[in-house]
Every structure is written in structure tokens, then in C-alpha cells.
Amino acid sequence: DDNTLRVLLSTDNHLGYLERDPIRGLDSFAAFEEVLSLARSQKADLVLLSGDVFHDNKPSRRTLHKTMEILRRYCMGGESVGFQIVSDQKECLRSVVTGRANYEDEYYSVDMPIFAIHGNHDDPTRDGGTELLSALDLLSVSNLINYFGRQDQVDNVQVSPVLLQKGGTKVALYGMGSMRDERLNRMWQGKKVKFLRPEEDDNRWFNIFTLHQNRDLGRGSKNCVHESMIPEWMDLVVWGHEHECLITPQESLVGTFRISQPGSSVATSLTQGEGRQKHVGILDIRGQQFRLKSIPLGSVRGFAIGDVSLTELAEGGTVLDIEDPKLEERMGDVLAAEVENLVSYFECMSVENYTLQSPEQVLVRLKVEHSGFTTLNNQRFGSRFVGEVANPSDILLFHRRRQAENTTAKGAATKKKRAAAGMYDPTEPEELEEVNVEDLVNENLFNMDKKLELLTEREMGEGMLSFQLLVC
């Protein structure tokens, strides 16, 4: 259709995640390759990536080489591009060489353009000079992507749209690369965030806004972007950064626009939200009307998550007996059976293998409530699942049952004071050897009544993990 613009939506590809892992090292690339393959098979006019294309701020040469090889294979060809950019490209695209979109360069043959913003993982930093550069700048200067949405002023945000036109359909594509949530929130409150609009025919443009920030999910009033901050005249908001796949457009609670959250294409943490089926979206825009179809990704590694309570299993003494001299061995057998049940769910599921290593090995996370019981060594426990699961060294996540709330006035007052001071039950020493530092941070911070304001729970966990790996 000469009047329908088709856009493939994807975000948080995290290329290079766990690249040194012998099993999971190619997972991010397998998913990314499928994303671009779907764009080809669905005849998309362009691909929109909403941040965190790379997992590391300074990707390794291997990651850059693999990424560029995939982009060249899927984005270059001899077909003509069906839309045109009618805005000043020097104002909205970051192309330091040609000053225009990559498919308009006569020395390159790009027939499936990619438009991308940066996320919090691949945001611009200084490296060897005074200029701020992102890993996306390397892809942009190589004419492999069109990098947009970067803000160079720290005290004033001005978002210029990329104006696209295909036949009678006009689309204004607004992008905002990742910024510190609290600072962006403060600028928004101070009315220092401005969106430029086309000079003519405002009502004829279909407005898309893509960003890479925290959503208001109980993180506090200052550590996120609220829906009320987004201009009401937007038609569709594509939200990056949040890894849970909620790609079906949802109507905003405060505006007339709709929100699509594609979620990540690869699991970077073993949480409930990451366990949902991964999708990409095919967005068709014709005039002021749009339709979004979700397509499940087939090259994503299976992920099974469950929980078990040892306290409940010990009730009656039929499954576990706390007085049993071989209790630890019995616990291992019981938990192993739970893991086997989780793994068996994926045995009948076929996985389309692009470059996925050992797709039959799934990710497993079993949360174990062990109040009154000791913990098991994760490495020793996981050794029996080597070759069967993709993460044998961190299958189990132990936690204790929260103490019942004290009903006395004195106890309630003490509990209130401890909560106000941020004091929570400490983690037992023996537990520290069995849990991943990132999981420990996430578990404690997500359960806090008061949320962090400067950093997100994910950023804190990733920072702690990076420091641990650096020290080790």
C-alpha cells in the first residue's frame, strides 16, 4: 500500500549480554537477528529501536563486529525505500558525515532503514577526548543506523521530530534518548522540555514518541516519567527501558494517546516480568489510523520461574522433616524435583534456531522460602543440571518469610519506626554465599516501602554486579 507506513517496533536488545558465556553468549544476537528477519519478511518500511541496543556502554570488538555484520546482512539491498524524510535532517538526525539519513547516501545501498535512540546502557560518554560519544555513533558513522533523539544540552530539552511521509500518510517521529530520571523529571516540572511541531497542518500528522525512561510503577514521584507529562496531542508512545512485554497498546490514564511497551528481546535478569513471552510489534499507519500486530519471537531462550516453600513442605513431616539427619540431602532432592517439573514444561516446545546455542537448555529460577531451614550451595546443587539448564550456577534464590506483623501498639510503633528509618530484616550470613548480588539488591529494594529516587533498582543491582566482577 503506497499510503501505509509499516514500522517494526523493538527495544532493549542488549547486544553482547553475557557474551563470554558458552551457552548464553549468542542469545542477544539470535533474538536481534530474528527481529531484523521479521522486518524483512513483514516488508517493514523501517525499524524503530527504543534504546539499549548494546548491553555495555563500551561494547567489545566481538560484539561490534557481530552487530555490524547482522546489520549489513539485513539492512542493505537494492530495493527502493518507500518513504521520504521531509524535515531538516541536520536538526533531527545525528549524522556527522553526510547530514542525512543513511539510505539517502549515494555511496550506500540501504533499503531497510533503522532509526534508534540510545538507552541507559549505551548512552553517550567521554572516551579519549572531550566529545560525548555513544556506541550508536559508531553504527551511525558507518551508515548502518539513523541515530536520533540525543539531547546535548543538560538544562534544556528540545525534541525535534523526524517528519516522514509515504503517499498521503504523514508521521512525526519524536525520540528522546535516556537521561537521568530525576533530572528529566525536574526539567519537565520546570517546563524546560519542549516538543517542536510541524509548521503546517498540525492535525494531519500522526505523532509517535519513543523514549527510554522509567515508567511510574511505584518508583516514587521523581524517579520516572509520568504519563501526564507527555503532550496530549501524541497519538502513540513507544516505551523502552521496561523489560516486561506489554506491547498491546493501552490507553493512557491521563491523555488521549496510547502506550506500547515492547519489552526486551533477551532476558537480562531472572524475574517474573522477563519470563513473559517476548514480542516485536508491526505498526501500520495510514492517515490518522494505526494498527499494531504483535509477533512472538521464536529464538528467545525458554525461561521457567517458580517458587516453593520449605516451611509448607515440612508441615506434617511427610515431605521434609526438620529433625532428619539427612535433611540437606532430602532438601536437594525435593528442590531438584521442582526444577525438573519446570524444565519439563519446555520439552515439548520447539525453538527456532537462528544462532541460538543449545536451545533445549532453558533458564530456570526457583524462589525458595526457607524459614527455619538452612540454604544449599547453588554451585553444588546446579551441578546436577549441567547440560540441562542454561544457568546451573544460580537456579535457586533463597529468601525468608516475612515475620507476622506485631499486633501490639508498641510492636506496631517499633515496626513503623524501623520502616521509616529504612531498617529491614538482615540477610543471614550463610545466605550471602548462595545468592547473586544483583538478585539480593533487587529483592530488598523492590520490597522497600520507600523507593529510590536517584537510581533505579535495576541500575543499583547492575552497578553492584559490575563492581563485584571488577574486583574479582
Q: Are 91 and 175 in contact (CB under 8 A)?
A: no
Q: Per-residue b/e over 24-50, b at no fewer than 16 CB within 10 Å? A: bebbbbbbbbbbbbbbbeeebbbbbbb
- Kindly report the three-state secondary structure assignment for every residue of the chain: CCCCEEEEEECCCCECCCCCCCCCCCHHHHHHHHHHHHHHHCCCCEEEEECCCECCCCCCHHHHHHHHHHHHHHHECCCCCCCEECCCHHHHECCCCCCCCHHHCCCCCECCCEEEECCCCCCCEECCCCCEECHHHHHHHCCCCEEECCCCCCCCEEECCEEEEECCEEEEEEEECCCCHHHHHHHHHCCCEEECCCCCCHHHEEEEEEEECCECCCCCCCCCECHHHCCCCCCEEEEECCCCCEEEEEECCCCCCEEEECCCCCCCCCCCHHHCCCEEEEEEEECCEEEEEEEECCCCCCEEEEEEEHHHHHCCCCCCCCCCCCHHHHHHHHHHHHHHHHHHCCCCCCCCCCCCCCCCCEEEEEEEECCCCCCCCHHHHHHHHECCECCHHHCEEEECCCCCCCCCHHHHHHHHHHHHCCCCCCCCHHHHCCCCHHHHHHHHHHCCCCCCCCCCHHHHHHHHHHHHHHHC
Long-range contacts of 158-161 (CB under 8 A, 24+ apart): 158/194, 158/196, 159/193, 159/194, 159/195, 159/196, 160/87, 160/91, 160/92, 160/196, 161/87, 161/92, 161/195, 161/196, 161/197, 161/198, 161/207
241 assigned to active site:
no
CB burial of residue 120 (10 Å; 0-12, 13-18, 19+): buried
Q: Are 32 and 63 in contact (CB under 8 A)?
A: no
Catalytic residue among 121, 241, 243, 279: 121
Q: Which residues belong to the active site?
A: 121
